[in-house]
Amino acid sequence: MLIAGTIVAPASPDEWAGRDPMKWLYIYGVDGLSVSGGGTIDGVGQEWWARSCKRKKTQPCNTRPPPRALHFEECRGVSVQGVTLQNGPQFHLSFTRCVDVKASFLRLVAPADSPNTDGIHLNDSSRVQITDNLISTGDDCVSMVGNCSDVRVRDISCGPGHGISIGSLGKNRTTDRVENVRVDTCLLTNTTNGVRIKSWQGGMGSARDLRFESIVMKNVSNPIIIDQYYCDQPTPCANQTEAVEVRKVEFVDVRGTSATARAIKIACSDTAPCTELELRNVNLTVVGGGAATASCYRASGKAAGVVAPASCLAKGDP
């Protein structure tokens, strides 16, 4: 499929009346499709963002998820290369239950304050390569949820936005399993998080065998963050004992500046502490000068090479 011109979405959400509000360009069940051509997909999300409860704090506002710009479900051997996706009402490019996926040489662009406009979102997908992309949106540059495995994210310029995220996992007590993910050679600028693993209390499953390597942070809030207490709802989340296990996670050659004093934040649960974490050659300072800090709760592993701020991981993994 060649996209050489511009595909423009209807500007008004009212156009979706009587239709599935979660779909715009929706491709189901394909095997071996390649999308390229240098063109643009414009989701014209402005009116959707204006009506979102995340932005509009008075009623009526829209709580339902708006359409994703380009959404693949149940696919195999799909590649999307060399196109621009912009101003998505919600996620720009997403894959649910897909295998053997390639997403490269893409520009994904939306304003920093546009809600839920993730660049690339994966759910229940495996053998995915996300490389050579410029992503500048209002939410995660890359996010993955559900059961995802064998994912490679490389050569990404990310920001502004919320950074690169595994999770949120375990929402509503679900079992999610994310494994064998490698993120390397990325530049993150002005993002609200750097590399992040987040899970809800009460979830089950695991996030393991993850490696973040050669990452440069520029003015990033929370450059390294693991949060097993994620809670993105107006009311506080109930404390629960189950947690998505986080194990074998490496942060290697991560350097640059943090917009917040605390550059490393690792908050794990009492019942499922994070284990076998590694910080190797990490050097993060506060933007404008000054030493950063690190905080850990129920997290163990090792530090190697230069680690600044000093590692807070407890020693003593089995």
Ligand X SMILES: *[C@@H]1O[C@H](CO)[C@@H](O)[C@H](O)[C@H]1NC(C)=O
d(CA 251, CA 82): 30
Among 141, 151, 153, 259, binds ligand X (CB under 6 A): 259
Rounded least distance, CB 127 to ligand X, Å: 15
Half-sphere exposure of residue 160, counting CA atoms within 13 Å on the CB side? 11
222-240 burial, b if ≥16 CB within 10 A, otherwise e?
bbbbbbbebeeeeeeeeee
Question: Are 133 and 108 spatial neighbours (Cβ–Cβ below 8 Å)?
Answer: yes
Q: How far apart (Å, rounded) are the C-alpha atoms in residues 19 and 92?
A: 19
Exactly one of 177, 182, 280, 298 binds ligand X (CB under 6 A); that residue is 177
Select from 1, 8, 291, 306 the one that contacts ligand X (CB under 6 A). 306
Quick note: the x/- pattern for ligand X over 68-107, rule CB under 6 A, is: ----------------------------xx----------
Point out the catalytic residue in the list 71, 92, 121, 162.
Answer: 162
Q: Is 162 a catalytic residue?
A: yes
Q: Which of 199, 213, 190 is nearest to 166 (CA)?
A: 199
Site for ligand X in 180-199 (CB under 6 A): 189-190
Per CB under 6 A, contacts with ligand X among 196-235 are 205, 219, 221, 233
CA distances from 289 to 31, 219, 256, 260, 292 (A): 51, 11, 11, 11, 9
Q: Binding to ligand X by residue 238, rule CB under 6 A?
A: yes
Using left for φ > 0, alpha for ψ between -120 and 50, and beta otherwise, residue 193 falls in: beta
The smaller minimum CB distance to ligand X, of residues 3 and 194, is found at: 194
Whole-angstrom distance, CA of residue 251 vs CA of residue 286: 18
Residue 124 engages ligand X in binding (rule: CB under 6 A): yes
Q: How far is the CB of 123 from ligand X (least distance, A)?
A: 4
Which of 86, 92, 134, 143 lies closest to 111, judged by CA? 86
Q: Per rule CB under 6 A, is residue 283 in the interface with ligand X?
A: yes
Pairing of strands 204-220, 299-308: unpaired
Q: How many residues bind ligand X (CB under 6 A)?
A: 26
Q: Using the rule CB under 6 A, give the single segment among 27-35, 142-150, 240-248, 290-298 that binds ligand X.
A: 142-150
Q: Using CB under 6 A, list all residues that contact ligand X.
A: 96-97, 123-124, 145-147, 159, 172, 175, 177, 189-190, 205, 219, 221, 233, 236, 238-239, 259, 283, 285, 287, 306, 308
- Just list the catalytic residues: 162
